[in-house]
Chains A and B, each alone.
Chain A
Amino acid sequence: MARVEETGGDREENKEEETSWWSPEAVEGGRVGEGPSRGSRGGRGGDGGRPDTPPPPPYSDQVLENVLENVLQFLVCRRDRNAASLVCRSWYRAEAQTRRELSVGNCYAVSPARVVRRFRCARALVLKGRPRFADFNLFPLGWGARFSPWLAAMATAYPWLERVCLKRMTVSDSDLAFLARSFPSFRDLTLICCDGFGTAGLAVIAVLCRNLRILDLIENDVEDEEEEVIDWISRFPETTTSLESLSFECVNCPVNFSALEALVARSPSLRRLRVNQNVSLGQLRRLMARAPHLTHLGTGSFRPGIAEDLNVADLEQAFVSSKSLICLSGFREVAPEHLPAILPVCANLVSLNLSYAVITAEQLKPVILKCNNLRTFWVLDTVGDEGLLAVAKACKNLHELRVFPFEATEDSEGSVSDVGLVAISNGCRKLQSILFFCQRMTNSAVVAMSKNCQDLVVFRLCIMGRHRPDHITREPMDEGFGAIVMNCKKLTRLAVSGLLTDKVFKYIATHGKSIRTLSVAFAGDSDLSLKYVLEGCHSLQKLEIRDSPFGDVGLLSGIHHYYNMRFLWMSSCMLTLSGCKEVAQKMPNLVVEVIGDRPKDLDSDTVEKLYLYRSLEGPRDDVPLFVNIL
């Protein structure tokens, strides 16, 4: 295993006072007071010339650490590594030297400088910024989570960086250019729900990252002025590329098709290709002909272009030839009569994403009935309960289901309901994860699911009309969600909706001991709800709450637990500035942010938006004017 040359400078210990009650989740921490601190290795690079560096460890210990490093390099899982690093100083150092992938769940929990100081040889970084509610316009723009400071730190510390995965960060075009220039071995770039960049940044990546294997752009907000769109696809080098995965469904501008086709033709390793909706069906067919070994295909619009005379048989033949396909997505503007062309691959499909396909149950049935090996299925509610029934009949191995609303408004009619949910629960007993948007639901349907699908790990039900009760009994939805937490012992993620009282939170607190992520909106009667949850859910790490009648009393009841959490978000609740200040005072390692849509919102005593998270660094230095850190 190649060892990165030390960049000089000593490897001093992390001498800051680290809190000892943190869980090993975040990339920080370490034992304090383990004995004399140790400086840099003897005989290997300089010791940085610091006057107070202690002498290097004796030779035998050095050997031990070398051995340890060779053993620890086999540890891959982050939790194992965190545990190993806590054994003693020697293990801490060895682990820090051998950790290749860094995973930072909250970019403000720890600073780039601290990370870089501890981990010297990282090759991959996974970095997450804003919490999920930012996707729904609840965070004002410009709040933060910029990639730039991390990039700057890594450019000097990790010249051999190969992989970067960012989620909900702000990445600019110049960041992308800097990345492309700084890391000659760079191979994998994955951006999920990020913003701030456009085709200019993509072009630089294409030109300069000669070893690029993965370029996956997933659900990002790619902004370009109409006049400034750059033909980035044509910027890939003319030679054979090492591309294995190329996903750009979220890049909405037109693409140079002949350049794309040529790129695919000279990328023999390409296995995953997901194009945007500007690629027509005829163009797709040509791409498939160029890449018959694809395993994952994002089909673009799935509609013939203007004046495209598409032979149905030709299209079906393209799918017949793509024997390796296991994952299909796209179908952005699907012409339903062409959907059956995918029939030849249905039996092999493990994942099918029809969540943009406006189709009926009748149009879905012939396809889904063949998808007997499907594990993941995303669909629009236009298929109705009848469509879901067909899914239940055919997909006995289904692990993940997401049903999205065609009309995402509170007063839309909604085509799926408790009937569909019960059908799914009866047919798909192995279900582990469900996201279900609807307008009508009953407790009994949810109870049925809790009993039939005991493997559920993720249960997210969104009844879109606020405060809607069981549409048959008119009761609150407490019993349904209560049954979920009682019967599904593996549940780690829960999102509740509909008319809910304090009772449901008592159930959640009593039975939801494994729940790590909880989403609450328009629910509960009083602070008791929040108190129950914070006192009862011992594994809780992420709590996002909006528009619920919880105030300072509830907030303060979580003081014993906030250091164990990644974050708490509360918006449009009943918090006051004094309550939040009290939390901030009592918990010095918590960053308590009060966010207003405009700077003047911060003057009032009511707190509209609260975002608090643990951090080793204290208040961040890039706070915009509409954020107040208490």
Chain B
Amino acid sequence: MAEEKKPLDWNTAEEKKLELRLGLPGEGEDWSPSPEKGKKFTPLEASLSLGHVSKVPRSNNFTASPATKREAFQQPKQLEFMQLQKAKEKACDGLLQNSSHASRIAATPVVGWPPIRSFRKNLAGAPQLSTESPNESSKAAKKPENERKSLFVKINMDGIPIGRKVDIKAYDSYDKLSLAVDELFQGLMAAQMDPLALGTPKISQEKQVITGLLDGTGEFTLAYEDNEGDRMLVGDVPWDMFVFTAKRLRVLKSSNLSTSSLGAVSRKRSNGS
């Protein structure tokens, strides 16, 4: 799954104001590593902000010898740590109280965390049929589908034998999904082009950026299979509906698109639905 990376320099005040986060206002935005500000980067809060990958600024005492380093670390460290702890406590309480709020904000999940293999995910959406006992069985199982936190669907690409899985709930728009798909398969495509380069120097290959996935202009087009088994082009229906109905994704070579395989699309399109 592709990570969304944002640049680390949150310089402008506007950006800070617009940054979507949880936690008390005005806390923990300071990215500078200087200890006199007394506040270290607060991983918890930053991890809750949208599109962020937790990164810790370098310590100033990086190259100091171990003995001095330890001294230099301890005092400001402890001070920072106490403040850090308090800040985290507050944020944590806030988090627990607002857990339902948090889920709707949907912080970008960090890749591979929690460390659960993908086939164990999606359990929250597993079908629980009416044969359930009338007594409240698993409270979580009764959650309707669209409150699932993540939804992994298979995605395959023409020409690449190994498919992958993407969490479509991690994105909130077609553009972001398209970007993620591009990132996901670029590395693969690069590997495919030159899989066993024996001793050849790595000359910069022409980067195969995958653009135009959604509008038919690119070499590839993104399609999906819905819950009725129909193959559709991605982008036609509102995003929320897409997330609800998409069961599988596929990146097709645009030249392979045939009117027959996507016949449903042209019909649905013309109906304006």
Contact B59 A526 (CB under 8 A): yes
Contact A404 B81 (CB under 8 A): no
* Contact sample, A vs B, 15 pairs, CB 8 Å cutoff: A141-B191, A142-B162, A142-B195, A336-B132, A359-B138, A362-B135, A404-B116, A405-B114, A408-B121, A408-B150, A409-B109, A466-B54, A572-B54, A597-B183, A621-B199
Decide yes or no whether B252 CB sits under 8 A from chain A: no
Q: In the assembled complex, how far is the CB of residue A412 from the closest CB belonging to chain B, in whole angstroms? A: 7
Kindly report which residue of chain A lies nearest to residue B143, judged by CB atoms.
A407
How many angstroms from the CA of A140 to the CA of B92 in the assembled complex?
Answer: 33
Which segment of A257-265, A391-399, A547-555 sits at the interface?
Answer: A547-555
* Chain A residues positioned under 8 Å from B69 (CB to CB): 527-528, 553
Contact A358 B92 (CB under 8 A): no
Contact code string A411-451 (vs B, CB < 8 Å = 1, else 0): 11101000000000000000000000100000000000000
Contact A225 B114 (CB under 8 A): no
Q: Known: A142-B187, A466-B43, A621-B196. Is A137-B112 also a contact (CB below 8 A)?
A: yes
Contact B73 A136 (CB under 8 A): no
Contact code string B209-243 (vs A, CB < 8 Å = 1, else 0): 00000000000000000000000000000000000
Decide yes or no whether A231 CB sits under 8 A from chain B: no
Q: Known: A196-B162, A337-B131, A462-B115. Is A600-B44 also a contact (CB below 8 A)?
A: no
Contact code string A318-357 (vs B, CB < 8 Å = 1, else 0): 0000000000000001011100000000000000000110
Q: In the assembled complex, how far is the CB of residue B56 from the closest CB belonging to chain A, in whole angstroms? A: 4
Decide yes or no whether A135 CB sits under 8 A from chain B: yes
Kindly report which residue of chain B lies nearest to residue A475, judged by CB atoms.
B85
Contact A382 B205 (CB under 8 A): no
- Residues of A that sit less than 8 Å from B by CB: 133, 135-138, 140-142, 170, 172, 195-196, 219, 223, 225, 250, 303-304, 333, 335-337, 355-356, 358-360, 362-363, 380, 382, 404-413, 415, 437, 462, 464-469, 474, 476, 499, 501, 521-522, 525-528, 531, 546-547, 549, 551-553, 572, 574, 597-600, 621-626
* Chain B residues positioned under 8 Å from A466 (CB to CB): 43-44, 47, 54, 110, 113
Contact code string B89-127 (vs A, CB < 8 Å = 1, else 0): 100100100010011000101111111111111011011
* Chain A residues positioned under 8 Å from B129 (CB to CB): 303, 335
- For the A-B complex with A474-B89, A528-B73, A625-B194 known, give 15 more contacts whose Cβ atoms are closer than 8 Å: A138-B111, A142-B191, A358-B128, A359-B138, A380-B123, A406-B138, A409-B150, A415-B140, A469-B88, A527-B69, A597-B3, A624-B190, A625-B190, A625-B197, A626-B191
Contact A360 B137 (CB under 8 A): yes
Q: In the assembled complex, how far is the CB of residue B148 from the closest CB belonging to chain A, in whole angstroms? A: 8
Contact A467 B187 (CB under 8 A): no
10 A-B pairs with the lowest CB-CB distances in the bound complex, closest first: A136-B112, A142-B191, A549-B56, A408-B116, A624-B191, A409-B149, A464-B114, A625-B190, A140-B187, A382-B138
- Dominant SS at the A interface? loop
How many angstroms from the CA of A109 to the CA of B242 in the assembled complex?
Answer: 46
Contact B162 A358 (CB under 8 A): no
Contact B205 A625 (CB under 8 A): yes
* Chain B residues positioned under 8 Å from A335 (CB to CB): 129, 131
Decide yes or no whether B1 CB sits under 8 A from chain A: yes
Decide yes or no whether B53 CB sits under 8 A from chain A: yes
Contact A462 B114 (CB under 8 A): yes
Contact B195 A624 (CB under 8 A): yes
Kindly report which residue of chain B lies nearest to residue A501, judged by CB atoms.
B81
Contact B85 A136 (CB under 8 A): no
* Chain B residues positioned under 8 Å from A362 (CB to CB): 135
Q: In the assembled complex, how far is the CB of residue B122 from the closest CB belonging to chain A, in whole angstroms? A: 9
Q: Known: A136-B115, A409-B150, A599-B205. Is A336-B133 also a contact (CB below 8 A)?
A: yes
Kindly report which residue of chain B lies nearest to residue A223, judged by CB atoms.
B163
How many angstroms from the CA of A525 to the CA of B85 in the assembled complex?
Answer: 13
Contact B54 A359 (CB under 8 A): no
Contact A404 B120 (CB under 8 A): yes
* Chain A residues positioned under 8 Å from B53 (CB to CB): 572
How many angstroms from the CA of A196 to the CA of B188 in the assembled complex?
Answer: 13
Q: In the assembled complex, how far is the CB of residue B39 from the closest CB belonging to chain A, in whole angstroms? A: 14
B residues 125-179 touching A (CB-CB < 8 Å): 126-129, 131-133, 135, 137-138, 140-141, 149-150, 156, 161-164
* Chain A residues positioned under 8 Å from B58 (CB to CB): 551, 574
* Chain B residues positioned under 8 Å from A356 (CB to CB): 120, 123
* Chain A residues positioned under 8 Å from B196 (CB to CB): 621-622
Contact A499 B88 (CB under 8 A): yes
* Chain B residues positioned under 8 Å from A404 (CB to CB): 116, 120
| The residue from B56, B192, B205 contacting A574, defined by CB atoms under 8 A apart | B56
How many angstroms from the CA of A250 to the CA of B192 in the assembled complex?
Answer: 26
Q: Known: A551-B58, A572-B55. Is A141-B140 also a contact (CB below 8 A)?
A: no
* Chain B residues positioned under 8 Å from A546 (CB to CB): 112-113
Contact B140 A406 (CB under 8 A): yes
Kindly report which residue of chain B lies nearest to residue A621, judged by CB atoms.
B198
Contact B190 A136 (CB under 8 A): no
Contact A358 B116 (CB under 8 A): no
Decide yes or no whether B259 CB sits under 8 A from chain A: no
Decide yes or no whether B186 CB sits under 8 A from chain A: yes
Decide yes or no whether B272 CB sits under 8 A from chain A: no
Q: In the assembled complex, how far is the CB of residue B94 from the closest CB belonging to chain A, in whole angstroms? A: 12
